[in-house]
Structures are given as structure tokens and as C-alpha cells.
Amino acid sequence: MSILVFAEHDNSTLKADTLKTVAAAQAIGGDIHILVAGSNCQSVAQEAAKVNGVSKVLVADNPAYEHQLAENISLLVTELAADYEHVLATALTTGKNFMPRVAALLDVAQISDIIAVESSDTFVRPIYAGNAIATVQSLDSKKIITVRPTGFDPVATDGSAEIVAVDSVTDAGISTHVNDELSVSERPDLGAASIVISGGRGMQNGDNFKLLEGIADKLGAAIGASRAAVDAGFVPNDMQVGQTGKIVAPDLYIAVGISGAIQHLAGMKDSKIIVAINKDAEAPIFQVADYGIVGDLFDVLPELEGKL
Amino acid sequence: MKVLVPIKRVIDYNVKVRVKADNSNVDLANVKMAINPFCEIAVEEAVRLKEAGVATEVIVVSVGDKPCQEQLRTALALGADRAIQIETDEKLDALNIAKLLQKIVEEEQPQLVILGKQSIDSDNNQTGQMLAALTGMPQGTFASVVKVEGDKVNVTREVDSGLQTVSLNLPAIVTTDLRLNEPRYASLPNIMKAKRKPLVVKPAADLGVDLSPRSKLIKVVSPATRKAGIIVDGVDTLIEKLKNEAKVIS
């Protein structure tokens, strides 16, 4: 039985979340191969070869895969899938984009966003914004799965897999990449940070997010936001934590001016320690917070920054 | 051009679901239902394309039992021209739903199909991509901007690291993200008018799709509850607790 894991990368470095998807593959059990599909992505292949428990790295290095367009990547993965019983991708935007396409091309169901492996065909996944946890058995011969990174611990990078080039090029020719507008930040990646501080509607405007920056710098934290803060235009949407944004599970999550709607809790309630700072003592966020301060964030935040 | 918008009837997003005592599923008896929020955004986008003179007709379709006609009527009140219900009492896997929608795409030949990026009940985020694969169309998922230009559509997508714009050959599939638009409210006159708009019911069994299940729900449980926390009296106590009790900062 063998498993193909799709590597998340930006053509230069392997995303750490891939190590968690490999952990899910190890839980299923079998010979694990990683696919690195991109353009000028040899450095990613070198990194992937060091991932613990991986026996082979397949490298599809071609301009057709540079932006990992779903139309092209899905054809490649579908072709390779013939040799595998399980195909896994990380449940980030790239995997979410192309994997269901692979599943449909193979005429099998996809099990999305798994947080645990029960057996080689049975998996655990949250539904209803994480308010229920379903155990699902796949009835198909091939299992197409996306893995929620917060559900698994990363594997080590002490391996030495062989690297094999994949020569076939699959270009569907029906879509092209136009441009990217990437958010640039010196701070840790939101999904990977061990501390996250997030602001909500209570921040009142985008400028006030600066109040979080000093604290984030002192703690080495990433900055997140609730949907309300994103919708109000305070911050860009790639900072959104929640059911439809990013799912985080840091050691410490500090929610500032966030009421704690179901959709936000879905993205952070698996954090180890939750701190809430809110002036409304009745806010639902206090029901999940380990420590709460009822107070005005404009008083609390400067004091917190000063005392850290 | 014709725009097809598949929509789904789901639990209202404000409702906190309860898991049934026998752990067979969540309890949906007497729970408020609504259009899936992402599908509402899809309807709004289609109606805006019609108002801009880009689309000529907006067709909404839903796969489900009789009550999903309520959501189809709502979509008609929001500005869709006609509706199709693919009638089934079964809870179908996303792949089977995509296959039923494929039949409607073949019949109606829309230039654009707009779906929500995920339903807030199953949280799968699959149907649009699967429909794209089955119809051979390109896909613009998690869209925050949609611009039809000649025989192409430019879609700005919300990706992990920011935004990405792709150009797709028409016909194409688009799935909506929350920031694509703000859906309008249906006015009373439009709700009245919607009652007279055409709604065709097609039994799923008549569409020639194998609907045998692809997955089996073994059990559904409530998530682990968090231990009740404490309210601290100020910043000093908070820092002390985080350092010495929780040991998450140093």
C-alpha cells in the first residue's frame, strides 16, 4: 500500500504544514512518496527528501506548474494516482482548490479536512463549523484526502529519500495566471505561529491594529483578525481566522475585541490557552477563554505591551 | 450569456447545532434553515452580472427534498429568473451532487456557473471543483472579484498568502468567497413576484446518475468542551498566569 503526499511550497521552500500531512500519512501506514510540482522547484525537492518516513520524492518541474493552477495540477496528480491507494494534500488553499478536481476525475469521493486517522479507510473530520465531529468511512477504492494541519504534529526532517523526476507534462490550456498580490509580513506565518494575537470589530479601525503589533513583536506572535475586522476593511482577508478563513491552534491565542461568534471559534478553539480581552463581560468568547480580562482594550493593550 | 447558480438549503448560520443522543448525526428537527451564506453571495453575483448587461438569464438549481423550494423561491426573489429542483430525499455525497449538476449544465449550457465555496454544514469545499472536473471547465475558486471580458473571465482568488488573479476560458466555474459582494435583501413585491416565476421539479432518479453513496457516516459526536476559565483582575495577574500557570510565555 502506498501513499502520495502533495507538497505545499512556493517554488523555493517547503511549507512546514506538509510535515503534518506526512504525519497523517504515517498514521494511515504505508510507503510514503511526496510530489513536488512547480517550476524551478529543485530546492523544495531537496527539502522534501529530508522529510522523515518518505521513501521517494517525485519532482514535476515545469512552467505549466509554476502557479499550481488546479486545471494542470489535477491532471498530473490524477495520472500519478494510478499507483497509489491514498493521495493526501494539506487543507490549505492550494490543496482545497485542486484535490476535489482530482477526486472527480478519478470518480471517487474526497474526505476533506481530516483531523485524525482511525484506519486506512476511516477518518475524523469536523462539520458544522467544528460544532460536531464526524467519523467517516470512505467506500471508494482510492482515498482522496485533505488534511487539516492543526490536527497533526509535524514529522522530523532527518530522512533521505531518493529524488525522481516526473517527465510527463499536463497543461490543460484553459486557464492562465495573471498576477499575485501577496501580503508581506516579517511576522511568523499565522498557521504556524505558536502565539497568535487577533483583533475584532472592537479594534474600531485599521490604525488601531498597531496596538497589537508591539505586543506581537514582544511575543514573537502572528497577528490575526475576525471576519468582522476583515469585512470592515481594517485588515486584509488573509489574516482572517475562522470557519472560512485560517484554522489555527497555537499555544496561546489572544482575542482582542472579538465577541466569539460560532464562525470565529471554529478557527481557534483548539488553541492550547485562550485569552480574551473584551469590555463586554457577556461576550461568548469568555466561555472558551482560559483567562479573561473585562476591560477597554485601549487601556489594556498599552499596559500589556509595557509590562511584557 | 446564461448563468447557472447551484444553491443549498442548510441550517441557519446563527444556530448552534446539537448532536443527537445516539450519535447518528446532528439534530436538525425544528431548526431554522436558510440559504447557505456562500450560495447567497453566488446568487447576488449572478444578479449583478445580469444588471450589468453581461448575463441574460440567471437559473438557480438545488438538489434536495421539497423544502429546498423555499430557498429556490428566495433566490428568485433576489432576482433569479427561473429555478430547478433536483428532487431527492437522500443526503448525497458532493461527487453525486456534482454529477447531478453536470446533467443540468449539459442541458442548459450556461457560460458561467457560480457556486458557494463551501456549505456551512458539511464544510466540504468540493462541489464547484468537482463540477469543473466533470464538465472539463476551468475553475476560479474562492473568488473575491469576477470580471467577464469577452470569451474569458478574470477571477481574483483569496489564497493563503494574499490574492491571486487567474484568467479562465469560458464556459467556467466560479466559487464565491465572503468578500465577493454583499447580498441584497428581497423586497416584499419581489417575494410576491417570485411566487409566479417558473420552478421545475426533476426527480434525481430520472437524470441517469448512479447515486450510490461513496462514504458512510459512522458516528457524530460533540467536540471536547473546554474547561471553564477565569476572569483575572488585570494585566499583572494575566502575565503572571501565562508565565507560571499556563507556561505559554517566558
Read off the pLDDT of residues A17-65 as tens digits, 9 standing for 90 and up: 999 999 999 999 999 999 999 999 999 999 999 999 999 999 999 999 9
Cα B172 to Cα B181: distance, rounded to the nearest angstrom: 19
Given A122, A286, A292, which is nearest B218 (Cβ)?
A: A122
Chain A partners within 8 Å of B169 (Cβ): 174-175
Q: What is the mean pLDDT of chain A?
A: 96
Contact B160 A308 (CB under 8 A): no
Cell of B139: 475553475
Cα separation values, A38 from A52, A66, A180, A275, Å: 22, 5, 16, 40
Contact B160 A10 (CB under 8 A): no
Q: What is the mean pLDDT of chain B?
A: 96
Chain A partners within 8 Å of B137 (Cβ): 174
Q: What is residue A183's predicted lDDT score, i.e. its pLDDT?
A: 84
* CB B87 within 8 Å of CB B57: no
Q: Which of B17, B39, B129 to mutate to test the interface with A (most CBs of A within 10 A)?
A: B129
* CB A230 within 8 Å of CB A223: no
Cα B98 to Cα B139: distance, rounded to the nearest angstrom: 14
Q: Parallel, antiparallel, or unpaired for β B112-116 and B172-176?
A: parallel
Chain B partners within 8 Å of A308 (Cβ): 239, 249
Q: What is residue A166's predicted lDDT score, i.e. its pLDDT?
A: 95
Read off the pLDDT of residues B80-127 as tens digits, 9 standing for 90 and up: 999 999 999 998 999 999 999 999 999 999 999 999 999 999 999 999
Cα A205 to Cα A208: distance, rounded to the nearest angstrom: 6
Q: Parallel, antiparallel, or unpaired for β A291-294 and B230-231?
A: parallel
Given B130, B159, B169, which is nearest A174 (Cβ)?
A: B169
pLDDT band at A184 (very low <50, low <70, confident <90, very high): confident
Read off the pLDDT of residues A272-294 as tens digits, 9 standing for 90 and up: 999 999 999 999 999 999 999 99
Cell of B44: 447576488
Chain A partners within 8 Å of B132 (Cβ): 70, 101
Contact B214 A108 (CB under 8 A): yes
Cα A133 to Cα A100: distance, rounded to the nearest angstrom: 21
Q: Parallel, antiparallel, or unpaired for β B33-35 and B9-11?
A: antiparallel
Q: What is residue A252's predicted lDDT score, i.e. its pLDDT?
A: 97
Q: What is residue B245's predicted lDDT score, i.e. its pLDDT?
A: 92
Residue A242 pLDDT > 80 = yes
Chain A partners within 8 Å of B26 (Cβ): 127-128, 131-132
Q: What is residue A91's predicted lDDT score, i.e. its pLDDT?
A: 97
A-proximal residues of B, 44-103, CB under 8 Å: 93-95, 98
All residue ranges of chain B with pLDDT < 70 are none
Cα A44 to Cα B201: distance, rounded to the nearest angstrom: 52
Cα A241 to Cα A200: distance, rounded to the nearest angstrom: 10
Contact A182 B162 (CB under 8 A): yes
Q: What is the mean pLDDT of residues A128-140?
A: 96
Cell of B37: 451564506
Does the beta carbon of B23 lie under 8 angstroms from any beta carbon of chain A?
A: no
- Of the candidates A167, A235, A221, the residue with the CA atom closest to the CA atom of residue A189: A221
* CB B134 within 8 Å of CB B128: no
Q: What is residue B210's predicted lDDT score, i.e. its pLDDT?
A: 94
pTM: predicted TM-score of the whole model, two decimal places: 0.95
- Pick the residue from chain B with its C-alpha nearest to A282: B231
Given B93, B133, B217, which is nearest A109 (Cβ)?
A: B93
A-proximal residues of B, 199-218, CB under 8 Å: 213-218
* CB A112 within 8 Å of CB A140: no
* CB A211 within 8 Å of CB A298: yes
Q: What is residue A191's predicted lDDT score, i.e. its pLDDT?
A: 87
Cα A234 to Cα B232: distance, rounded to the nearest angstrom: 29
Q: What is the mean pLDDT of residues A254-278?
A: 96
Does the beta carbon of B21 lie under 8 angstroms from any beta carbon of chain A?
A: no
* Residue A192 phi, psi (nearest 5): -110, -10
DSSP state, B245? I
A-proximal residues of B, 125-184, CB under 8 Å: 125-134, 136-139, 141-142, 144, 154, 157-169, 177-179
Read off the pLDDT of residues A75-89 as tens digits, 9 standing for 90 and up: 999 999 999 999 999
pLDDT band at A164 (very low <50, low <70, confident <90, very high): very high
Task: State the ipTM, two decimals.
Answer: 0.95
Contact B161 A10 (CB under 8 A): yes
- Of the candidates B124, B15, B9, B6, the residue with the CA atom closest to the CA atom of residue B65: B9
- What's the count of helices (H) and strands (E) in chain B, helices before strands? 6, 13
The three-class DSSP label of residue B37 is helix
Read off the pLDDT of residues A92-106 as tens digits, 9 standing for 90 and up: 999 999 999 999 999
